[in-house]
Chains A and B, each alone.
Chain A
């Protein structure tokens, strides 16, 4: 089997990332921003977002958005695959938790997960490759509060190799130590060594099909604007929940259902931060979860909404983020307030499950183009009433948690606009070609030989960080393709 990968970005070395250099807080909000409209790099395409309540985030480069993710590593739960059956909303997945479990087990190892098995919020799992990372003083305070409340908590699972981690705390801006399991480090170097042909600076422009309608290759532009075609018997799109529907729409393929680009889900995100009297050195350690809570993850109809959310507790790191939040004001009094806040503030991040809505979608923009003149995607996204209620409920409970832990001051952001890390659902899987884009093996119903291996195929979003499930699906697809070769 010969594999060619077209990557619009470039390789990045851990030394490229700004976290270990002065001025990193400016870099993470400009040239290393997760928002391609802010970053504006040559490898990026712009996104029209004036009709999007949540700003989509992503990275273009070898390793994709795992370069700028937090490595918050968690599986979907069994109920996430049966939302229609259990709660009467949205749709069931055509596969179950049990179908993915062996792939979760495999990818936990491949992505160097550090965690503690035995979490009662999911079925039993094997031990992780590494023990959990330190919970820290702030994590211990909040864990004790959950113990008093009788609420679930568990040490966070992070896709970080402890032997390499030196606690820069800048995981979200790329790990300067190479400890975070981004796909360039976990897979691509080995794949290239094994013979994979990875072409960087290659912007896919359309999927090519033969006279019988079978996928036969991909057309792409190199950095000089020259057009090329790679012929292939199998084409796999892995361009995230915006890039994949964009490419399908540019190609005019796989859209018998009319669902390409529709049902976009992004996990509207809320933060509730609590400031404590005692110093917590909250800048030390990994940026991902110290502890997590699934106390309110499963549906309880008495809450006034269905489905739920997972919480991740992190420390608020440097003073710049706190200053920009405006919690300390500016001018007189700023310095005293910063003394009270810096190093003493922990924050719950709440990942809510938003359900698929056909009007939440990715389309091709009529005006905006990328640097090659290709139509840019336009994102149209509105937070649903169910999700709004969920956000409010969870933010209130997160505040209760922090107050119980002793926080004397709370700040919430509900929702966080620039939080569209999780781009899901825009080429959903299903058994019926009239109501889904790809089948349970992730092959397009309409185009034999064309597969999708990213978050686009999610039927529902669940309420957890999706990377573990995205790569488990990719692992399952790889097995399928190898078996069929």
Chain B
């Protein structure tokens, strides 16, 4: 059995589909000629090939890595965190002073 035949057989067994996802055996998956080095290489190639297929990604709602420019920073969606940050600040320094770097209010933790 070639590596490709092995991969196709294992994919059909491991990934039978359901819950709206297609079965691996229903897809035109392109298998590499040989397995890469490393532990779990078979599982890795089976999963990577299956979950890279557009039909699987569409069904899962996962677009895959893609280029998305950042919004202007700081992110407006994080503005709701400002009152929470203010409470973190209000609790005061939590680092332990040493070597001449002492927190202004002293260290409140135990040791």
- A-side residues, CB < 8 A to B, are 19-20, 22-26, 29-31, 33, 38, 40, 77-79, 81-82, 85-87, 96-98, 114, 116, 118, 120-123, 130-135, 140, 143-144, 146-147, 150, 152-155, 162, 165-170, 177, 279, 283-284, 294-295, 297-302, 317-320, 323-324, 330-336, 338-339, 342-343
Write the nearest CB–CB distance from B41 to chain A, whole angstroms: 7
Which residues of B sit under 8 angstroms from A324, Cβ to Cβ? 40, 43-44, 47
Given A118-B89, A170-B65, A334-B18: 4 more A-B contacts, CB < 8 Å:
A78-B99, A81-B98, A134-B70, A338-B19
In the assembled complex, the Cα of A98 lies from the Cα of B17 at a distance in Å of 58
In the assembled complex, the Cα of A299 lies from the Cα of B95 at a distance in Å of 10
**B71 contacts A98, CB within 8 Å?**
no
Partner among A98, A120, A165, A319 whose Cβ is within 8 Å of the Cβ of B89: A120
Which residues of A sit under 8 angstroms from B48, Cβ to Cβ? 23, 25-26, 320
**B91 contacts A82, CB within 8 Å?**
no
**A120 contacts B93, CB within 8 Å?**
yes
**B19 contacts A336, CB within 8 Å?**
yes
Interface residues on B, range: 35 or more
Which residues of A sit under 8 angstroms from B74, Cβ to Cβ? 116, 131-132
Which residues of A sit under 8 angstroms from B69, Cβ to Cβ? 166-167
Partner among B15, B20, B67, B81 whose Cβ is within 8 Å of the Cβ of A177: B67
Interface centre among B37, B47, B100, B103 (most CB of A within 10 A): B47
In the assembled complex, the Cα of A77 lies from the Cα of B41 at a distance in Å of 41
**B38 contacts A29, CB within 8 Å?**
yes
Give chain B interface residues in 54-69, CB to chain A under 8 Å.
60-69
Write the nearest CB–CB distance from B14 to chain A, whole angstroms: 4
Partner among A86, A283, A297, A323 whose Cβ is within 8 Å of the Cβ of B47: A323
Which residues of B sit under 8 angstroms from A133, Cβ to Cβ? 70, 73, 75
With A40-B37, A166-B68 in contact, do A78 and B95 touch (Cβ < 8 Å)?
Answer: yes
**A23 contacts B52, CB within 8 Å?**
yes
Write the nearest CB–CB distance from B11 to chain A, whole angstroms: 10
| B29 interface residue per 8 A CB criterion | no
Which residues of B sit under 8 angstroms from A166, Cβ to Cβ? 67-70
With A144-B84, A339-B20 in contact, do A123 and B95 touch (Cβ < 8 Å)?
Answer: yes
**A25 contacts B14, CB within 8 Å?**
no
| B2 interface residue per 8 A CB criterion | no
With A86-B98, A170-B65 in contact, do A338 and B60 touch (Cβ < 8 Å)?
Answer: yes
| B21 interface residue per 8 A CB criterion | yes
Which residues of A sit under 8 angstroms from B99, Cβ to Cβ? 78, 81-82, 96-98
In the assembled complex, the Cα of A167 lies from the Cα of B44 at a distance in Å of 24
Which residues of B sit under 8 angstroms from A146, Cβ to Cβ? 84
Closest residue of B by beta carbon distance from A26: B48
Which residues of B sit under 8 angstroms from A342, Cβ to Cβ? 60-62
In the assembled complex, the Cα of A156 lies from the Cα of B78 at a distance in Å of 13
**B18 contacts A167, CB within 8 Å?**
no
Closest residue of B by beta carbon distance from A18: B65
19 contacts between A and B (CB under 8 A): A20-B67, A23-B49, A26-B36, A33-B38, A87-B111, A97-B99, A120-B91, A122-B95, A134-B78, A154-B88, A162-B73, A166-B68, A168-B66, A283-B62, A294-B95, A300-B110, A320-B47, A320-B48, A335-B17
Which residues of B sit under 8 angstroms from A319, Cβ to Cβ? 47, 51, 60, 62
Write the nearest CB–CB distance from A397 to chain B, whole angstroms: 15
**B94 contacts A120, CB within 8 Å?**
yes
In the assembled complex, the Cα of A170 lies from the Cα of B67 at a distance in Å of 11
Which residues of A sit under 8 angstroms from B38, Cβ to Cβ? 29-30, 33, 38
**A121 contacts B67, CB within 8 Å?**
no
Partner among B14, B70, B75, B95 whose Cβ is within 8 Å of the Cβ of A120: B95
Closest residue of B by beta carbon distance from A173: B65
Which residues of A sit under 8 angstroms from B61, Cβ to Cβ? 279, 342-343
**B65 contacts A135, CB within 8 Å?**
no
In the assembled complex, the Cα of A395 lies from the Cα of B95 at a distance in Å of 21
Closest residue of A by beta carbon distance from B64: A318
**A343 contacts B62, CB within 8 Å?**
yes
**B95 contacts A298, CB within 8 Å?**
yes
Give chain B interface residues in 1-56, CB to chain A under 8 Å.
13-21, 36-38, 40-41, 43-45, 47-49, 51-52
| B92 interface residue per 8 A CB criterion | yes
Partner among A85, A121, A154 whose Cβ is within 8 Å of the Cβ of B95: A121
Which residues of B sit under 8 angstroms from A31, Cβ to Cβ? 36
B93-111 vs A: 1/0 string, CB under 8 Å? 1111111110100010111
With A323-B47, A324-B43 in contact, do A140 and B78 touch (Cβ < 8 Å)?
Answer: yes
Which residues of B sit under 8 angstroms from A97, Cβ to Cβ? 98-99, 101
**B96 contacts A78, CB within 8 Å?**
yes
In the assembled complex, the Cα of A370 lies from the Cα of B92 at a distance in Å of 52
With A23-B52, A97-B99, A318-B64 in contact, do A338 and B21 touch (Cβ < 8 Å)?
Answer: yes
In the assembled complex, the Cα of A406 lies from the Cα of B8 at a distance in Å of 39
With A33-B38, A130-B73, A342-B60 in contact, do A19 and B65 touch (Cβ < 8 Å)?
Answer: yes
9 nearest A-B pairs in the assembled complex, by CB-CB distance: A96-B99, A30-B36, A336-B19, A82-B98, A78-B101, A134-B75, A335-B21, A131-B73, A79-B96
Closest residue of B by beta carbon distance from A179: B70
